[in-house]
Structure 1
Amino acid sequence: DRKAATEYLGTLRARRDIQCAALYTSSGQLFASYQRSEQNPCVFGAVQKAAALVENDELLVYHGVVERGERLGTVYLRASLDRTARVLRYAATVGAVLVGALLLGLFGSSLMRRSISQPLMEIAGVAQAVTQRRDYSLRAVKRGEDEIGQLTDAINQMLAQAERGAADLQRANERLLSEIEEHLRARDEVSALNATLEQRVAERTQQLEMSNKELQSFSYSVSHDLRTPLRAIEGFSSALLRNHASQLDTRGQDYLQRVRAATQRMSLLIDDLLSLARTARAEMKRREVDLSDLAQKSARELQEAHPERQVEFVIHPELKADADPQLMRVVLDNLLGNAAKFSGKKPDARVEFGHTLHNGSDTFFVRDNGVGFDMNYAGKLFGVFQRLHSSAEFEGTGIGLANVHRVIARHGGTIWADSEPGRGATFFFTLPATPPTGDVHAENHPAGRGQPR
C-alpha cells in the first residue's frame, strides 16, 4: 500500500537529523519517499547496493530488505551529522533502517496475502456463476502450483466432467425424443397397415425402453463419478483452513468456507440423484408390510437426527399394505421428513400418519400443521428439482417427492396433496392390492401432480 508506506516514512519527522528517506521496490523503482524540507528538496537517485557513505557532513545509507532469502526492496536514508554526535546518530540511523525494513516486510506480507485471497475470490466467483447460469464451460484461472492451484485444477476437472455429462445427456434426450417421434408416426401407420406392423411397433417400444434404461444408467454413472473431484475439493479446502488460515484475511476464509459449503450441497444433491436412480432400478419384492412400524422407525430416526425440532408424531396402529418394504421406507422417510421439516419451526408442531377412504379406496395420508403451500403450484410438487420454498428457508434438493412419486407409480398407486398456506399440508397415496402387470414407468403413470385422481 503506497499510502501506508508514505505515512510510515513520515514518522521519521520526529528525527530532526534525517533529511530524506525512500523505499525502492526490488526492481529499483521508487515506491514511497519522505523529505523534511520543501526548500531543500532531496534528489532520489538510482538504487545502489547496500552501503553507508558520509558526504558533506551527511550520512547516506542504502540497506536491502530481505525476507526468507528473497530481496523485497531497498531502504534509502540521508541524515545530517556533526562531528561530536556522528556515532550516536549513525546508530539511530541504523535503527531507522530497521524500521524501514520492517515497513517493507509488512508491505511484502500484504502482497502475499493478496496472492492467496485473489485466487480464492476468483474461484468463488466461478462457482457462483456456474450455479446461477448453469454454464459448465466456465473455468477458474490457475495462478500457481500450490494448494490453491491444485484446488483450481480439481474445480476445473469437475466442471469439465459436468460439461461433458450435460452434453451427453442432451444428446441422449435428443435421441430419445427422436425415437418417440418415430414411435408416434408408427402408431399412426398401424391403422392403415396390416397386422404385421404390430410386430414392428413392439420392436420399437422395446428399443425405447432400452434407451430409457441406458439413460438411467448414464445418470447413475455421472452422479457416481462426480464424487471424486468433490472429495478433492473438500480435502484441499480443509487443508487450506487447517494449515494456512493465518495467511488468509477474514474475507479469504469466508470465501473458502463458501467453497466447502457448496461442495457439501453438491454432495447431498448427488446422493439424492443416486437414490432416485436406485429407486427406478431396484427390483420390487411385494409382500404384506406393516406401514405403522416403518413409520415409527422413520419418526424415531428423525427425532434423533434433529433433536432441536419439537415435533409430535402421531402414528395410527396396524396400517398394512401389499408393497415392497424397502421402497415404502423411502416413501415414509421422505413424506414424514418433509412434514417435520416444514412444521418444525412451530412450537406445537404435529405430524400424523393415518388411513382413510377416498372414493371407496383405501388411502393413506401424512398430515402436518406446518407452513403449507399454494395449490396453484401443486403441479410442481413431484417434478425433479422442483421446490415451492427457497433453500434459504428450508434445506433440500427438490428430489425427495420425485422419488416418492416414482415408488407409488411402480406400485400402481396414486399420490396427491392438499394444502393451504400457513395451515399445513396433507399428502394422500394409494397402494392397490393387485400389483400392476410389468414395471410401471413413473414418467408415464398418472400417480398425481398435486390433484386427487
Structure 2
Amino acid sequence: MRIWSSQSISDKFMRMTLVVSGTALLLVYISSIVYDLYSLRHELISSIATEASMLGANSVAALLFDDKQAMESTLSALRNSPRVRAAVILRPDGSEFARYLRDPSIHFDLTKHLAPGETQHHWLSGREILMGSKIQFQGAWVGTVYLVAETGDVARRAGRFGLISAGMLLICFAIALLATSTIRHLVTDPLTGLAKTAQVVTREKDYSVRARIPPSSDELAFLVKSFNEMLEQIQARDRALEATRSDLERRVEERTAELSATNKELEAFSYSVAHDLRGPLQQINNIGFLLQQTSADGLNTEGRMLVDRLLEGSKRMSGLIDDLLNLSRASSHPLHRTPIDLSNMAETIAAGLHAESQSRQVRFIIARGAPVFADDGLMQVVLENLLGNAWKYTSKLESAEIEFGYTEEEAGTVYFVRDNGAGFNPRYADRLFRPFQRLHSQNEFTGTGVGLATAYRIITRHGGKIWAKGAVDQGATFFFTLPYAEA
C-alpha cells in the first residue's frame, strides 16, 4: 500500500498510531451500538412478555364465563400502552374470542402460533414484534393471548445513543491525533538514528560506528546504549574470530583426517574379524554336522541335544557375522544410485522366503510400480530385513499376511511393509533401530537385533527416514522414504 511506502519512521509511527486508535475507537463504538440495540430489544421483549402475562391473567374470568364484553373492556386498557398496536385472545380450540386494534385501519392477520408445549414465544418481523402467551388457570389451559407491538422506540433510542457515541468517537480521535503529533518525535528520532547506524553496520560491516544516545534516560536511551555495547562486543569477537580462524581450520582438517583414518581402520577391522571368525566357525559347523550324521547312533539323548545346540549356535553366529558385515557396509559402502523397481525386488525376496519354508501359509500383497533411485545392493538389504522380519514374526500364525506398498503424501512417496504378526509394544518403538536391541526374547523369535539398525543406516544415508507403528499381537508396519536425488 502507498500509505506505508514512506521511508520516514515518524510518518509510519503517526499513521500506525492513528490506525490503531481509530480502529479501537471504531470497534468500541460498534460494540456499544450493538450492545445497546441488544439491551433495548431484550428490554422491549421482556416488557411485552410482562404485558401479555398480565393481560392473560386479567382475561381468565372472561374466558371461563365466555364474557366478551368483559374481555373487550380488559383489552381496551391496552390504549395506555402506546407500543401495542393489536391484540387477540384465542380459545383453547384456536377460535378467536376477542381482539383489540389501536387503529381500526390496521390490518392484522395472525399467521404465527405457539407450538405444542410452548407457553410463551415471540417473533420479530421488520419493526414489529409478535408475542404469544398461553393463559392458564389452576394448571389448565384456558386460552392464548397474542400482542403485536412496535419496535420503533428501540430504533429511536439507538439512534440517539449512536449520535452521542459518534460525537465522543470524534473527540477521542482528535485527542489521539494531537497526542500522537506531540510525542512522535520524542519516540521516533532515536529510533531513526539507530536504524541509520544499523544500516551502516549492515552495508559496510563497520562495527566501529556508534549511534547517538538521546539525552533522556528512558527505555529508548537504554536501547541505544545496549545497541552500542553490542557493537563493541561484536567488534571484539570479530577480532578474536579472525585471529583464531586459521587455527580452527587447521584443527578441523586434522580431525577430519583422523576420523577418516579411524573409519577406514574400523571397516578393515570389521572385515578382518568377520573373515577370521568364519574359518573356525566353519570347522565347528562341519564337525557338528559330521557328529550329527555319522555318530548319532553312538550318542545318547543328551549328546544329540548338545550337538543340535552346537549347530544352532553355529548358525546364529554365522548370521550375526553376516549382519555385522551388512551393518559395516551400510555405513562405509559408497552409494551407487540407479533406477530400481522395489516391487520386483520384493517379489523376488518373497519367492525366496516361500522356497525356504514351503509348509507355511503366507499371503504376500505386493503393490506394483514402486520405482526409486537408490543403491541396488543396499536396498536389497533393507527389503530383506523388513520382509524377513515380517516373515519371522508371523511364523506363529496359521494364516499370515505380509504387504508391501506405498502411498503418495505431500512430503513425497512413503513405502511400507505391513504384517499381522506379533507386533510390538509402541512404548519401546525407539529401541527398534538400535543395534542389538530386541523387543522379543530369543525363545520366542530368533534374531541378532542388527537387521533394523542396518536398514536405518541405509535409509538415512539415502537422505530418507524410517519409522514403525504397531501394537502387541496386532501386527507391525514399517515406513520409509527415499528422496529422489541424483548421485
Give the TM-score taking structure 2 as reference length.
0.48
For 1:380 and 1:236, how far apart are their aligned partners in 2?
37
Match of 1:408 among 446, 455, 459: 459
The Cα shift of 1:372 comes to 0.6
What do you get for the CA RMSD once the two structures are aligned? 2.3
Unaligned runs of 5+ in 1: 1-188, 437-453
1: CA distance, partners of 2:294 / 2:348: 42
Asked if 1:216 is matched to 2:264, the reply is no
Distance 1:226 1:374, change over 3 A: same
Decide whether the 8 Å contact of 1:371 with 1:422 is kept in 2.
Answer: yes
Residue matched to 1:255: 306
2:320 corresponds in structure 1 to 269
Matched, 1:433 2:484: yes
Equivalent residues in 2 for 1:10-29, closer than 5 Å:
none
Instruction: Return closer, same or farther for 1:354/1:249 CA change in 2, 3 Å cut-off.
Output: closer
State the alpha-carbon separation in 2 of the partners of residues 275 and 412 from structure 1. 19
Contact 1:285 1:323 (8 Å CA) reproduced:
yes
Evaluate the alpha carbon distance shift between residue 358 and residue 252 of structure 1 in structure 2; reply closer, same or farther with a 3 A threshold: same
The number of aligned residues is 248
Residues 1:304 and 2:355 aligned together: yes
In 2: Cα distance, 1:240 partner to 1:274 partner: 30
Separation (CA, whole Å) in 2 of partners of 1:421 and 1:190: 55
Asked if residue 391 in structure 1 is aligned to residue 442 in structure 2, the reply is: yes
Instruction: Please report how far the alpha carbon of residue 246 of structure 1 lies from its aligned counterpart in structure 2 after TM superposition.
Output: 4.9
1:190–1:197 Cα contact (<8 Å) kept: no
Q: Which amino acid aligns with 2:384?
A: D
- Which residue of the partner structure matches residue 44 of structure 1? none
Letter in 1 for 2:288: S
**Distance change (3 Å), C-alpha of 1:336 and 1:242:** closer
CA distance in 1 between partners of 2:436 and 2:472 (Å):
21
| In structure 1, C-alpha distance between the alignment counterparts of 2:243 and 2:433, rounded to whole Å | 38
- Mapped contact 1:315–1:354 kept (Cα < 8 A): yes
Q: Report the Cα offset of residue 256 of structure 1.
A: 2.9
Give the whole-Å Cα distance in 1 for the aligned partners of 2:308 and 2:485: 52
Residue of 350, 353, 366 corresponding to 2:404:
353
**Aligned counterpart, 1:439:** none
CA–CA separation in structure 2 for the residues paired with 1:310 and 1:383 = 31
Larger-gyration structure (1/2) = 2
Alignment partner, residue 206 of structure 1: 257
Question: In 1, distance between residues paired with 2:300 and 2:454?
Answer: 43
Among residues 392, 401, 406, which one is paired with 1:341 in the alignment? 392
Please tell me whether residue 283 in structure 1 is matched to residue 334 in structure 2.
yes
The structure with the largest helix share of the pair is 2
| Cα gap change, 1:206 to 1:303, in 2 (>3 Å) | same
1:99-118 matches, cutoff 5 A: none
CA distance in 1, matches of 2:316, 2:274: 13
Q: Structure 1 residue aligned with 2:426, among 353, 375, 380?
A: 375
Q: CA deviation at 1:345?
A: 2.5
After superposition, give the CA deviation of every residue in 1:275-309 in whole Å (9 maximum; x if it has no partner): 32233333321122111111111111111112122
> Which of 338, 341, 344 is the matching residue for 1:293?
344
Paired residues of 1:355 and 1:363 also in contact (CA < 8 A): yes
Q: 1:412·1:435 contact (CA, 8 Å) conserved in 2?
A: no
Q: Secondary structure at the match of 2:244?
A: coil
| Regions of 4+ moved over 6 Å | 189-192
SS in 2 for 1:289: strand
Label 1:198 to 1:190 Cα distance change in 2 as closer, same or farther (>3 A): farther
Q: Displacement, 1:190?
A: 7.4
For residues 40-93 of structure 1, the C-alpha deviation after alignment (integer angstroms, 9 at most, x for no partner) is xxxxxxxxxxxxxxxxxxxxxxxxxxxxxxxxxxxxxxxxxxxxxxxxxxxxxx
Q: Structure 2 regions of 5+ residues with no counterpart? A: 1-239
Q: Deviations over 1:172-221 (max 9, x none)?
A: xxxxxxxxxxxxxxxxx979823442232132123113202211221221
Maintained 8 Å contact 1:310/1:344: no
Contact kept, 8 Å, 1:273 with 1:399, in 2: the verdict is yes
Provide the residue aligned with 2:6 in structure 1. Answer: none
